[in-house]
Amino acid sequence: MKTSSLQSMVARPRAGNPLRLAGDRRRQGMPVAKNKERFREDLIILAGFYESTVNIRSEVRLEAKSISFAVMDEIEFERLYNATVDVILRRILTRYTRQDLDDVISRAR
């Protein structure tokens, strides 16, 4: 699946601050709540770790792969981690470098 079609299948917030939607209380007249699980799943999907399924309406759905240690070995987890960091740097923390992010993560430990 091409990246552009993949990105169109994942919910995208309004232009500007990518996280702005999470702070809004309504979107297109509907109430919106923060959902960390949905955010995590979207990052995993954009990182390329997903399975395609078809729902009852014949629509293709992307489901994030499990990151459970029982399902994913350390090598695959490292690939997922690096791909997810790349997505975060490209789409959310666009002014950060990989080193900037690694420094922030190191200080948080």
pLDDT tens-digit readout, 56-81: 999 999 999 998 888 889 999 999 99
Higher pLDDT, 16 or 25: 25
C-beta neighbour count of 44 within 10 angstroms? 21
For range 71-93, the mean pLDDT? 94
Higher pLDDT, 5 or 50: 50
- Report the alpha-carbon angle 58-33-83, nearest 5: 65
- Report the alpha-carbon angle 63-19-40, nearest 5: 25
pTM: 0.69
- Residue 41 scores a pLDDT above 50: yes
